[in-house]
Structure 1
Amino acid sequence: MSFPWAKHYAPKNPLMKWMDERLPLPRLVYNAVGAGYPVPRNLNYFWNFGVLAGAALGIQIITGIVLAMHYGATGAGAFDSVEHIMRDVNAGWFLRYAHANGASMFFIVVYIHIFRGLFYGSYKAPREMVWLLGVVIFLLMMATAFMGYVLPWGQMSFWGAQVITGFFSAIPLVGDTIRVWLLGGYAPGEAALNRFFSLHYLLPFVIAAVIILHIWALHIPGSNNPTGVEVKGEQDTVPFHPYYTAKDGFGLGVFLLIFALLVFFAPNSLGHPDNYIPANSLSTPAHIVPEWYFWPFYAILRAFTSDFILPAKLWGVLAMFGSILLLFFLPWLDSSPVRSANYRPVYRTFFWILVVDILILGWCGGSPATPTYVILSQICAAYYFAHFLIIIPMISRAERPRPLPNSITEAVLAKHGGTSPAQTALAAE
């Protein structure tokens, strides 16, 4: 989508003009995040979370590079190198806690970003590619986080790698080969550490590259907005700078404040105490769990307990991966022409049911695999798939949405008690 009313970059300084003619980087920045990029005027603070995700990734890359300088990816030295970072490296404790808790903050921000997209229909045409690239980023994040969880080589790291990679062996014919390839052997060891460390270091840069594509795809149709109504003209937009740079700056300040409170006052609250015990292949922890941001998917994995045509273990693996891959098809599962749940009361009700369902799955995934939690996981997993495969397609065909505003400006003025230019002209007649 082109915006004919957008301001165009015209450097006045001779040096900037010379550079712009040979390497138009200033123009690119101006058109991407400056006054040259018009944005819907009604974006709320939920649109801050894209910038916050970028900031979280930046924190992870910077702290990760420094930590890699002191980490030893060996079976005998990995745990001790983490202790060396914590005790002997200048500000090593801060870097390690910032990196570990930064992963949690990254996932919190991205989960909110995803749920915002679900609520406001940001996956609908013409923004399908933005959504698909976002799901790719999410998958890369999960792979990176899993490999990073193994690196401290504590008890939970070792047994988490043993259990999660063990599920690949459920895949017929090629499962065992994939598991051996992932681990570099038949059990987690030094080869697995080297593989995971290499990929954990590389993948954040791959994520950064896909984020560039994500932003590029976003700038073609422009940002969605809380009404879901497309921009009608200049009156519906404001320049990204200074309006949304200021808003994003405030959001970033709140994010960094919460992040600082977590790092300085509760650095181990989101981790597992067993990971401060060196990995021991002869001592199995009483309760093996992944990091908290994997809990909903871990609950889906454990929800299958009986063989039916295929082994239960294979059903669990298929369901776990399917629960994420399902998001790729969401733009076509939801055929409603209305984007925002603000105008879809039935969809909005089921959206909040889905949020509660995923929270319960997370609770079950972090709890012991007792019959009560397994049955609850099975019910919630069944609803999760029914929501996307049955409920959303039915709602999109049967629901009668509320009337949409004619423009973003009309919605903004109505919200704040004003009148649109059309209403003013009508009243004058």
Structure 2
Amino acid sequence: MSFPWAKEYKPSHPMMQWLDDRLPMPRLVYNAIGAGYPVPRNLNYFYNFGVLAGFCLVLQIITGVVLAMHYGGNTLVAFDSTEHIMRDVNWGWMMRYAHANGASAFFVVVYLHIFRGFYYGSYKAPREMIWLLGVTIFLLMMATAFMGYVLPWGQMSYWGAQVITGLFGAIPLVGEPIQHWLLGGFAPDNAALNRFYSLHFLMPFVIAGVVILHIWALHIPGSTNPTGVEVKTESDTVPFHPYYTAKDGFGLGVFLLIYCAILFFAPNMLGHPDNYIPANPMQTPAHIVPEWYFWPFYAILRAFTMDFLFFPAKLMGVLAMFSAILVWFFLPWLDKSPVRSANYRPLYKKFFWFGLIPSMLVLFYCGGAPAAEPYVMLSQLASLYYFAHFLIIVPIVSSIERPDPLPFSITDSVLGSDGAKA
């Protein structure tokens, strides 16, 4: 973001001057997170989740690299090597629990980050590219998390791989060849485990690359804010450092308190006990479920129970599951309202809090429940509303609603018109 009042980096120390002339890393850091990056002065704590997501990514990369030093990517030893990490490696139990619960923490903050974007209209012009890169990051996260869930080679790991890769088999003509290509055979075995292990190690670095593009795209138009009003004057902004580094630091402290409480006192709370049983292709678990962060999309998949004309239920479920995320790519063009923030869109706000949020909560719950009534029916109703919200309600509401008056500037929204004049 380029503003005439943004401070320029001018190193005073000769060593820093020499470094900045030859490799301007200090200038890059200063302009990215220092006083050279003006930020809207009214950002609330919902804007902390981007920094928390970056922290989670770094945490996952560090713990993952350490775990990879002790893991055996072979079906004969994978489960035993995981137990070896837990029992014999110094602090191995903490590294594994930190990595497993770090994945859950990563998805928590990213889900909150995404829904903050829904509420405050962060996907609207001129920030479409930021949003598109963010959805891409989410898809890469899901692929990485799935492959990581397979690595312990427990019962749920094996059967999760069988079910998820089996979804590609629903695609007409090319489905089964794709499934066999993914697995390296006809069922999850050593070839599949090696492929998932290799890709699971690689994908976080791909995510880190897309995150850099995401941040780069953010710095071009600058951050949005709870009012949705663009920055007009210098009084609308404050330097990122020290104001938001302090605010993000406080948010990080709260996050770490919750994360460490789960890590040290309830590390298996978000896992499945069947994954402490070695993989057995001859014994199907009574209730196969993915990790909790896949539950809403798993519920959408299972909501299709009957064939329709020439379309089998499984194929429709697979298409709906992927479409549930792909529809986010089109949100900048589905929502035509000139007002960004739902704080000034009374009708949209009602559909958001009393429609989208409850439907997602129902999908989360039903995705982890057995594939039986009434959960299937609830999944169908919630899935119907979910797609209707993005494809029907959002376009119609954005065309017919009458937004509330916007403040003239960000300063007005913080201080009021009298304070701004003073």
- Whether these two folds match at TM > 0.5 is yes
The alignment-based identity, stated in percent, is: 75
- Show the counterpart of 2:367: 365
- Show the counterpart of 1:240: 240
AA in 1 matched with 2:418: T
- Show the counterpart of 1:427: none
What is the rounded CA distance, in whole Å, between the counterparts of 1:182 and 1:48 in structure 2? 37
Cα-to-partner distance string for 1:221-278 (whole Å, 9 max, x where unaligned): 0000000000001010000000000000111111111110010000000000000000
What is the rounded CA distance, in whole Å, between the counterparts of 1:202 and 1:254 in structure 2? 30
Aligned length: 420
- 1:396 shift after superposition: 0.2
Secondary structure, aligned partner of 1:160 = helix
What is the rounded CA distance, in whole Å, between the counterparts of 1:16 and 1:66 in structure 2? 34
- Show the counterpart of 2:272: 272
1:180 aligns to 2:180 (yes or no): yes
AA in 2 matched with 1:419: D
- Show the counterpart of 2:381: 379
- Show the counterpart of 2:332: 331
AA in 2 matched with 1:89: V
What is the rounded CA distance, in whole Å, between the counterparts of 1:151 and 1:202 in structure 2? 14
What is the rounded CA distance, in whole Å, between the counterparts of 2:283 and 2:63 in structure 1? 32
- Show the counterpart of 1:395: 397
1:217 aligns to 2:217 (yes or no): yes
Cα-to-partner distance string for 1:349-396 (whole Å, 9 max, x where unaligned): 111120110010010000000021111111110110000000000000
What is the rounded CA distance, in whole Å, between the counterparts of 2:390 and 2:188 in structure 1? 36
Secondary structure, aligned partner of 2:418 = coil
What is the rounded CA distance, in whole Å, between the counterparts of 2:241 and 2:304 in structure 1? 51
What is the rounded CA distance, in whole Å, between the counterparts of 1:96 and 1:71 in structure 2? 11
Residue 411 of structure 2 contacts residue 420 of structure 2 at CA under 8 Å; is this kept in 1? Answer: no
1:114 aligns to 2:114 (yes or no): yes
- Show the counterpart of 1:411: 413
- Which runs of structure 1 show a deviation greater than 4 angstroms over 4 or more consecutive aligned residues? none
Structure 1, gaps ≥5 residues long: 425-429
AA in 1 matched with 2:320: A
What is the rounded CA distance, in whole Å, between the counterparts of 2:325 and 2:118 in structure 1? 14
Task: Indicate the RMSD between aligned Cα atoms, in angstroms.
Answer: 0.8
AA in 1 matched with 2:370: P
- 1:2 shift after superposition: 2.0
What is the rounded CA distance, in whole Å, between the counterparts of 1:202 and 1:125 in structure 2? 33
What is the rounded CA distance, in whole Å, between the counterparts of 2:39 and 2:277 in structure 1? 50
- 1:206 shift after superposition: 0.3
- 1:178 shift after superposition: 0.9
AA in 2 matched with 1:404: L
What is the rounded CA distance, in whole Å, between the counterparts of 1:181 and 1:388 in structure 2? 34
What is the rounded CA distance, in whole Å, between the counterparts of 1:419 and 1:253 in structure 2? 36
Structure 2, gaps ≥5 residues long: none
TM-score (structure 2 length as normaliser): 0.99
Residue 153 of structure 2 contacts residue 278 of structure 2 at CA under 8 Å; is this kept in 1? Answer: yes
Secondary structure, aligned partner of 1:39 = strand
AA in 1 matched with 2:224: N
What is the rounded CA distance, in whole Å, between the counterparts of 2:29 and 2:241 in structure 1? 11
Distance 1:421 1:44, change over 3 A: closer
AA in 1 matched with 2:161: A
- 1:337 shift after superposition: 0.3
- Show the counterpart of 1:319: 320
AA in 1 matched with 2:43: L
What is the rounded CA distance, in whole Å, between the counterparts of 1:263 and 1:235 in structure 2? 43
What is the rounded CA distance, in whole Å, between the counterparts of 1:55 and 1:408 in structure 2? 29
TM-score (structure 1 length as normaliser): 0.97
- Show the counterpart of 1:347: 348
